[in-house]
Amino acid sequence: MKDHKLCFTSDREGEFRSPICCILGHVDTGKTTLLDKIRNTNVQENEAGGITQQIGATFFPRTKLVEEVEKCKDTTPISVDVPGLLIIDTPGHESFANLRSRGSSLCDIAILVIDLMHGLEQQTIESIELLRARGTPFVVALNKIDRTFDWKVVKDRSSYEALKAQDSTTLDDYKNRLSQVITQMNQKGFNVCMYWENPDPLEYVSLVPTSGVTGEGLPDLLTLLVKYSLTMKSIQKRIRISKTKFNCTVMEVKMIEGHGTTIDCILVDGEIRKDDQIVLLGFRGPIVTKVRALLTPHPMKEMRVKDEYLHHESILAANGVKISAAGLDEAVAGTPLIVANT
């Protein structure tokens, strides 16, 4: 397809780029299922064994964010003053610790997914330590609330509304499981509370009950990501646009039919154009080549899924982009890419 403009222009100095969010957690806590529900996709079922094995990226445009934020206007009224949101999906299995580290290193804010039925698990704790080490703000998605005893579904709505619809027996089961998670998070050194009761997001980590099956709590989750990106000074500083900043990381190296060897990149800051000369690390030394094509999936589609790609003349941060160029066979994932036009 021809050039598709992702609501980007090149004269946004001082405005905000799209924040980058990384979703982390133990295997089978429902990370990809949550994203599938928001995107109306089915990525999780197509993964080997139903387990994410690669880093993925999805761009959520401002129109989608506005739609979801509207559902939380009674608890969290905000204005969506960002062009979109880029969410990086990481594998939860213990074998993919390096990929989790690679993905989390790029994010401005994170979602830590905890299975409400099981509490903190091995990779949950590892993810907490990654976020702590990098000082990354995060919110907790207390996932699988629909498995609470006799849960009454309030489909695709705020979890605040969903909890008000439950009877006392269901709430007792929910509160017992919630208490376990709160205690475990306290033991890890974090103060936590429900997001609608949070007096200070810098002191307390917000908890958001969610379900990737029913969609409950997903509006709350997206609303908080936007709100905190625009109100936390540490995130504001990272996402404010400057024409002097460029930051791009190679996440995966893949062979794509019709394009040869390509690299999946996360463009954190700056702009990259078709025909730009780029330099990146190769296994036998630097690779110097020219951008042949800039490809992205459609908005709200997953970058790691083979599908029809949109072709661009240029891409502005933040976004996931697949780059086609000569000589990429020995490119090293997890390393920076720079633009070196003469």
pLDDT in tens, 157-190: 899 999 999 999 999 999 999 999 999 999 999 9
Mean of per-residue pLDDT scores for the chain: 86
Going by pLDDT thresholds of 50, 70 and 90, the confidence category of residue 51 is very low
Residue closest to 19 by CA, chosen among 137, 195, 99: 137
- Which of the two residues, 99 and 292, has the higher pLDDT score? 292
User: 11 lies in a domain?
Assistant: no
Same domain, 69 and 185: yes
Domain around 283: 247-339
Same domain, 175 and 308: no
Per the structure, how many domains does the chain have? Answer: 2
Neighbours of 188 (CB within 10 A): 14
- pTM of this prediction? 0.87
How far is the C-alpha of 30 from the C-alpha of 147, rounded, in Å?
13
Q: Name the strand (E) or helix (H) holding 168.
A: helix 168-187
How far is the C-alpha of 316 from the C-alpha of 319, rounded, in Å?
7
Same domain, 172 and 271: no
How far is the C-alpha of 254 from the C-alpha of 241, rounded, in Å?
30
**Does position 214 have pLDDT exceeding 80, yes or no?**
yes
Do residues 57 and 320 lie in contact, with contact meaning Cβ atoms separated by under 8 Å?
Answer: yes
Neighbours of 311 (CB within 10 A): 14
State percent of the chain over pLDDT 90.
63
Provide the pairing of β-strand 20-25 with 84-89.
parallel
Same domain, 141 and 256: no
Do residues 136 and 195 lie in contact, with contact meaning Cβ atoms separated by under 8 Å?
Answer: no
Provide the pairing of β-strand 109-115 with 138-143.
parallel
User: 149 lies in a domain?
Assistant: yes
User: 3 lies in a domain?
Assistant: no
How far is the C-alpha of 47 from the C-alpha of 52, rounded, in Å?
6
User: 13 lies in a domain?
Assistant: no
Same domain, 159 and 254: no
Dihedral angle of Cα 126, 130, 136, 142, to the nearest 10 degrees = -10
Same domain, 321 and 201: no
**Does position 93 have pLDDT exceeding 60, yes or no?**
no
DSSP string for residues in 221-257: HHHHHHHHHHH-HHHHHHHB--TT--EEEEEEEEEET
Same domain, 80 and 123: yes
User: 212 lies in a domain?
Assistant: yes
Both structure tokens of 74: 């009674």
| Whole-number pLDDT of residue 342 | 64
The C-alpha angle 229, 135, 235, rounded to 5 degrees, equals: 20
Same domain, 263 and 216: no
Q: Domain with 276 in it: what CATH number?
A: 2.40.30.10
Same domain, 148 and 211: yes
User: 222 lies in a domain?
Assistant: yes
Q: Domain with 31 in it: what CATH number?
A: 3.40.50.300
User: 152 lies in a domain?
Assistant: yes
User: 319 lies in a domain?
Assistant: yes
